[in-house]
A and B are shown apart, each in its own frame.
Chain A
């Protein structure tokens, strides 16, 4: 993604997260599992664990797409797991991984396939449509799922 579109996407995504659940704040912690082209948000509940949102921007300069990941850690650190390891089991309806101490998953869990949204700043209408979809999925699917993980004993 080019630098201009990347800046726009990050700005708008921060606004969406702040509007949807202001308890998620930008996460700048160090971890070998933090990828340079991603933007992370975390929400910590002491004694319960940390929740994470991950805006995964395609790092290739000729690609203008992104996807979302999400997960948690009850070990007081950034989750040291890769989403790819869970992709298949979790596509089956009803699978919940709340008993896992650490977890990461792609938004494909809710959409049935690996989804990367195109974000081309030269087409503002299309960008807004994509951001609306992202906001809806965050509000209706991802955040309730994550909050459920924190409530799980």
Chain B
């Protein structure tokens, strides 16, 4: 067993000399409460992240195929793609112990107008307005305007104790920068952006305690 640093008085571990990932026999990434490890090799939540990525990539492949058929088929497949991402977000959130309290949360503001945010979730005693996106807009246009409206309305409507988090399954850094540049100062300070399923899990687990 690798050496760690201990508190001499309480005899409890304060830290370690190696990252959890390189500890060959560490159970559940050193988080036996938040994770379980049925195989002894990966945690259940890691398996769920891989499944989420796999499911999303399959849905994305179907979008490409559908666009070849027709614009209508492509549009329908794209909408379905967004729904697949949303489903994975629900699975992962529940997988780390979050509770989906409501969906399609109404938010409103003078800047953004009447909009909806996908979920209100609760983890421990934290409330999160969570919007799920397949990706972030990669150019200025209606999609960016809609997203900024959603965020501004959420910022104005959500109770002060609630976090506001925008999740994107995938997004380029330039797209993220563009969204930030379009937001009001108040929104920039208030909103969290999470890109990628693994980061979503890390974020939610960080709120557990």
A residues touching B (Cβ–Cβ < 8 Å)? Answer: 32-36, 56, 58-63, 67, 82-85, 87-88, 106, 108, 114, 116
List residues of chain A with CB within 8 A of the CB of B83: 60, 62-63
Cβ contact of A62, chosen from B82, B102, B157, cutoff 8 A: B82
For B79, the chain A residues whose CB sits under 8 A away are 60-62
Q: Which of A36, A56, A62 has a CB less than 8 Å from the CB of B80? A: A62
A-B contact count (CB 8 A): 49
- With an 8 A cutoff between CB atoms, is B107 at the interface? yes
Contact across chains for A32 and B103 when beta carbons are under 8 A apart = no
Mark B residues whose CB is within 8 Å of A.
76, 79-80, 82-83, 100-108, 110, 113-114, 116, 120, 157, 159
Contact B103 A114 (CB under 8 A): yes
Kindly state the separation between the CA atoms of A62 and B101 in the bound complex, as whole angstroms: 21
Q: Tell whether, in the assembled complex, residue A106 and residue B102 are in contact, meaning their CB atoms are under 8 Å apart.
A: yes
A88 CA / B107 CA spacing, docked (Å): 17
Q: Are B106 and A82 in contact (CB under 8 A)?
A: yes
Give Cα A67 to B106, complex, Å.
13
> Can you name the residue of chain A whose Cβ is closest to the Cβ of B99?
A113
Known: A34-B114, A85-B159, A88-B101. 6 other contacts (CB 8 A): A33-B108, A36-B114, A62-B80, A82-B157, A108-B102, A114-B101
A84 and B80 in contact, given A33-B114, A34-B114, A35-B114 (Cβ under 8 angstroms): no
